[in-house]
Structure formats: structure tokens, C-alpha cells
Amino acid sequence: MIVSGLSLKTFAILVGSAAVLRAVEFCLDLRRLLRSINYLPGYRTVFSSTTVLGSLLPRMPLLALGRDHSWRLKHAPFAERGLDIISAVSFWPKPMGNMFIADVQAIKDIVWSRGLFQKPLSQYAALKVLGGNIVASEGDEWKRYHKVVARAFSERNNRLVWNATTQVILELFDTAWIGKDEVVVDHAVDLTLPIGLFVIGAAGFGRHISWKDDAVIPPGHQLTFKDALLTTSHDLFIKLLVPRWAMGFTKRFRRARLEFDELRRYLTEMIQERKGFQLKEDDKDLFSSLLAANDDENLMKDEVKLNDSELIGNMFTLMIDETIAHSLAFALALLALYTDKQEELYQHIKRVLPDGRIPTYDDMPSLSYSSAVFNEALRMFPPVTNVPKLSAENTTFTITDVNGTQKTVSVPEGITLTLAVPALHYNPKYWEDPHTFKPERFLGDWNRDAFLPFSGGYRVCVGRKFSETEGAAVLTMLFSQYTVSIKDEPQFAGESFEQRKARVLDAKSILTLAPTRLPLVFRRRT
């Protein structure tokens, strides 16, 4: 009994000593971290937003920042501290640091650096679901993908995007909306997502998809190409967030697994069909261009061809069209709320196209107000709210605080840097009256370095022109023929304009920023 008592006492002492040592080590690590960032003001929480648990928790003071704090708070946390770089230090599972950045010069330093600030690839691993790609890569691997993918984008393809978009909208008018002077859309995304996917079908894959239901499923498939495209985009978050081993647990998960398997099968078949083909004048779609750019004759010396999995992976990331669908939905809602801006857009279209003809790609530079509306929607509702980077070595940023005093911010090696896009887009230093819908701000001189909906620097999205072309074409076509308003619903009869605005522009950020619900009414112009 004495021996047993001594053993238990010894064990308790050992455990207690280990706990004390661990606590001391923890405190030293925390102090070291705080000193390394020179005690930069910001958040102090238990859970880090970069961990799975921290990213799933709602906002809880002192515990977690919340799932979408960057979107909800925008520039306010920076304004409160008088500095456009703030810190976020968390304590669990170990002391971790993050810097949120809304300063243009610091962001330029980051996005134009080719080695000092890199992507945390672990956060993008899920995007390799169909193969290695330009988004989920860094360094030499990214350069290899970029050389091939960038060659696939051209003015010829942009022209096809415009033509495909106008054709999709004309078919909408002539089929789904034919004979209707008024069309009610319960959620704007129910309209903009099919538009985007039909454009991807034509300009991305050279395959026309009709607004009319196409129930013919090819042999060897369980879904049509249209359904595979549409549902894959809709259920992307499932595939990215649910582990592969859990995809059979529920009916919804099994459906998502089928969708991705079907899309992979379609893309594999298309690669086999087009292998070895010579790009002809009529072959302007992005997939044909990508395959041609990957052909032995078009590869530069020492370039390695992309394998089929990499071709599929890159095409998949380029065709994820929920972002443009959401951006267009926000643009429609803003114009529905601000009817004076809607009328200004219509009058602009009439001045450019006085005879009412169908606009061409050559008209796009003249249709500047359409592009301005789309850009303003992207500014106010950026698709990606946080762009993470990692500092590869110790460095510093020099920024100016709210009082005009220059400050040096210490950036330790290994710390996470987050480009806080909403904070940048709502920073009054770069955007006058940033919370107000003003498309005209994009008609004159504006700070292009403070506009980051497609990322920036050498990692800027290669599909930027594709999206800009589609956005301008959709808005021009729709508002040349229809007006749009917010659907009146009895349960909201007594709300003020500000209440209505807050309701219809409500958004949530999961993978990308998405509207909660935007009920619209389209009325044919007379």
C-alpha cells in the first residue's frame, strides 16, 4: 500500500510537472508570437479561423471570429484600430498568428512577389478533386499549368463568349419567356446559374445546351451533360467539404458523387474524341483551345504535356461558374433596388444601340455602363472574401495609419497573411462613399490596385476577361428588353427601403460569397 501510494504520488507529480512545463512552453510560444508581430493590434481568440473547427464556428467574442467575419465586418475592424493591417492571434490548438490586410501597397507587394508570399496549398487541396490544376498549385507546378492554360484564352475565345451569351439570352426570351410580359424569379440564382452554365457549355466546351429540357441520356451515362454541369456546380461545396470516404453516407452525398463521376466521364470522353485534332477557325471553345495549347507542336522547348487528369482538373476549375452567377444575381438586385441606375443603364444601351440591334463583341468597349455595373457588383460583393498567403521569410511592410504616420509592420516567417477583399473594397481611402452603389465610379479613373475580385498580380485569374465579357453581355441583353424589380411579398409589406435592401442583399460566405435569396420580377419593355 505504501509503495502503491508512493507510486501514485510520483505519478501525480510527474503529470503535474508535465502540465506546468507545457503551460510554460505555451506561454513562451504565445509571447514569442506576439513579440514577432510587435504586438500588432487585432483579434485575440481561442480558436483560429484557419482551422476546420474555427472556420465552422459562428462568431463568438473571445472564442472565434466566425465563418464569414471578413464579409460581415468589411473595413470596420481596420477603421476601429486606425490601421489597414491588423492581427488575429489564437490559442488553440497552439498559438497561431494571422494578419488581415486591407492596404493597397502591402497587397501589391504580396501579389507581385513570386517566392516570398506563397499559397497555403493545404487549404486548396480539395480543388484537386478532378486533377491537378492552376488554382491548387504553386511554384514550378503552377508555371507549368499557367503556360498551357493562359495560351487557351484569346480574343477569339472572348468573342465566342460574347456571341454565346447573347445567343443564350435570346433563346431565353424565345423559349422560357416567350409570350410572357412578366416573369417572376423566386431566386435570381435560379436564372443566372443556368445562363452561366449554358455559356460554359458553348464557349467552354463547344456544346450547345438548350433552355428546353433535354432528357436524352447518352449510352454509358446516368446524367445528361447539362445536368452534370448544372448539379456539379450547385453541389461543389459538398465535394470540397465532405471526405471521399463519407460520400456514401446520405442520398445527397451519393448524388453529388454521381455528378462528379459523370462530369469526369464526359470530360474524359471529350479528350479522347479531340486528341490529335488540328484547331480550325471554327474551334474557338476553351476546351479545344486548351487541348491545342497542350499539343506537342504548340509546347515550348522543355515544357511537359499535361496528362488527361491535369487537363480535366484545369478545365474543371475554369468552369466553376457559381461565382459569376452570384455576381450577376447581385448586379440584378442592385439595379432592381436603385431604379435610377437601372434607367441610366437602359438609356446608355439605347445611345450605343439606337436601332435596337443585337450587340456584338466589338460593341463591348462602348457599352461601358454595363461593364461598370458588373464591376460595381463585384466590388460590393466580391466572390472570394479572403485570399490566404504564407510568408516564406521574415519581412516588413511600411504603411500609413489613420493619422498619416508611417508604421512598420513586422511579418515573421511562416505567418498566414489574409488579403481581406471586402475590407479593401470598402476602404474609404480608395473608394469614396464605399457602401453606396455607384457604377459610375468605374467610368473614370479608379484605383485598379484596390479592386481584387479576380485576385491580382501574377496570379490574377486567367479567366477574368471571360467573366467580364459574359457579365457585360448578360446585363446589356436583359436590360435592353426588360425592367427588373424586387418581388412584392405580403410578409414584407411594411418594410422600409433600407430593410428591403438588407433583406434582398443578404449574403453568406462559404466557399464563395452567395446571395441568400433574391426574388425578382422581370417586365418586358413596351
How does pLDDT run along the chain (526 residues), one tens digit per residue? Answer: 444 555 777 877 888 877 788 777 778 888 898 899 999 999 999 888 776 666 667 788 888 888 788 999 999 999 999 999 999 998 888 888 999 999 999 999 999 998 899 988 877 776 787 788 888 898 888 888 888 888 888 888 899 999 999 999 999 999 999 999 999 999 999 999 889 888 988 888 888 888 876 667 888 898 888 888 777 766 777 777 777 778 888 888 888 888 888 888 888 888 887 765 555 555 578 888 888 878 767 677 777 788 888 888 888 777 666 788 999 999 999 999 999 999 999 999 999 999 999 999 999 999 999 999 999 999 999 999 999 999 999 999 999 998 899 999 999 999 999 999 999 999 999 999 999 999 999 998 999 999 999 999 988 888 899 999 999 999 999 999 999 999 999 999 989 999 999 999 999 887 789 999 999 999 999 8
Q: Is the same domain home to 114 and 76?
A: yes
User: Is residue 264 situated within a structural domain?
Assistant: yes
Q: Is the same domain home to 316 and 273?
A: yes
Angle, CA of 485, 343 and 521, to the nearest 5°: 15
Of 372, 397, 419, which residue is a domain's last?
Answer: 419
CB distance 280 to 292 below 8 Å: no
Q: Is the same domain home to 313 and 345?
A: yes
Q: Is the same domain home to 401 and 377?
A: no
User: What sign does the dihedral 389-394-398-401 (CA atoms) show?
Assistant: positive
User: How far is C-alpha 78 from the geometric centre of its chain's CA atoms?
Assistant: 23
Q: Is the same domain home to 113 and 182?
A: no
Please tell me the distance from the alpha carbon of residue 50 to that of residue 99, in angstroms, as a whole number: 12
User: Is residue 438 situated within a structural domain?
Assistant: no
Q: What is the pLDDT of residue 289?
A: 83
Query: Nearest CA to 321 among 193, 132, 167?
Result: 193
pTM of the model: 0.90
Q: Is the same domain home to 216 and 322?
A: yes
How is 262-310 classified by DSSP, letter by letter?
HHHHHHHHHHHHHTTPPPPTT--SHHHHHHHHTSTTTSPTTPPPP-HHH
User: Is residue 140 situated within a structural domain?
Assistant: no
Of 400, 419, 438, which residue is a domain's last?
Answer: 419
- Give 99's strand partners: 87, 417
Q: Is the same domain home to 257 and 195?
A: yes
Contacts by 31-36 with C-beta closer than 8 Å and gap 24+?
32/95, 33/89, 33/95, 33/96, 33/97, 33/412, 34/89, 36/97, 36/410, 36/412, 36/415
Q: What is the pLDDT of residue 5?
A: 54
Q: Is the same domain home to 369 and 409?
A: no
Please tell me the distance from the alpha carbon of residue 25 to that of residue 21, in angstroms, as a whole number: 6
Which secondary structure element, helix H or strand E, spans residue 521, and what is its range? Answer: strand 520-524
Q: Is the same domain home to 333 and 415?
A: no
Query: Nearest CA to 121 among 107, 137, 98, 109?
Result: 137
User: How far is C-alpha 74 from the geometric centre of its chain's CA atoms?
Assistant: 16
User: Is residue 414 situated within a structural domain?
Assistant: yes
Q: Is the same domain home to 224 and 301?
A: yes
Please tell me the distance from the alpha carbon of residue 464 to that of residue 317, in angstroms, as a whole number: 13
CB distance 43 to 65 below 8 Å: yes
Domain extent, residue 188, equals 154-384+453-524
Q: What are phi and psi of 45, to 5 degrees?
A: -135, 165
CA distances from 262 to 51, 197, 222, 229, 231 (A): 32, 16, 7, 9, 11
Please tell me the distance from the alpha carbon of residue 205 to that of residue 164, in angstroms, as a whole number: 11
Please tell me the distance from the alpha carbon of residue 499 to that of residue 469, in angstroms, as a whole number: 33
Residue given cell 504548340 in the structure block? 298
CA distances from 288 to 35, 260, 280, 515 (A): 54, 21, 9, 33
Q: What is the pLDDT of residue 41?
A: 94
User: Is residue 354 situated within a structural domain?
Assistant: yes
Please tell me the distance from the alpha carbon of residue 205 to that of residue 208, in angstroms, as a whole number: 9
Asked whether residue 27 is marked as a ligand-binding residue, the answer is no
Which secondary structure element, helix H or strand E, spans residue 197, and what is its range? Answer: helix 189-199
User: Is residue 146 situated within a structural domain?
Assistant: no
Q: What is the pLDDT of residue 178?
A: 93
How is 130-194 classified by DSSP, letter by letter?
TS--STT--HHHHHHHHHHHHHH--HHHHHHHHHHHHHHHHHIIIIITTT-SEEEESSTHHHHHH
User: Is residue 465 situated within a structural domain?
Assistant: yes
Q: What is the pLDDT of residue 4?
A: 56
Q: What is the 3-state secondary structure (H, E, C) of 342-369?
A: HHHHHHHHHHHCCCCCCCCHHHCCCCHH
Residue given cell 468589411 in the structure block? 74
Of 419, 436, 466, which residue is a domain's last?
Answer: 419
Number of domains, the chain: 2
Rg (CA), the chain: 26
Angle, CA of 461, 144 and 513, to the nearest 5°: 25
Query: CATH number for the domain including 459?
Result: 1.10.630.10
User: Is residue 436 situated within a structural domain?
Assistant: no
Give buried/exposed letters for 431-440 (b at 16+ CB in 10 A, else e): beebeebbbe
Report cis status (omega within 30 of 0) of the bond before 219. no
E strands along 18-144, which residues? 42-47, 85-92, 96-101, 117-118
Query: Nearest CA to 100 among 77, 68, 123, 134?
Result: 77
Q: Is the same domain home to 121 and 176?
A: no
Q: Is the same domain home to 406 and 328?
A: no
Q: What is the pLDDT of residue 11?
A: 76
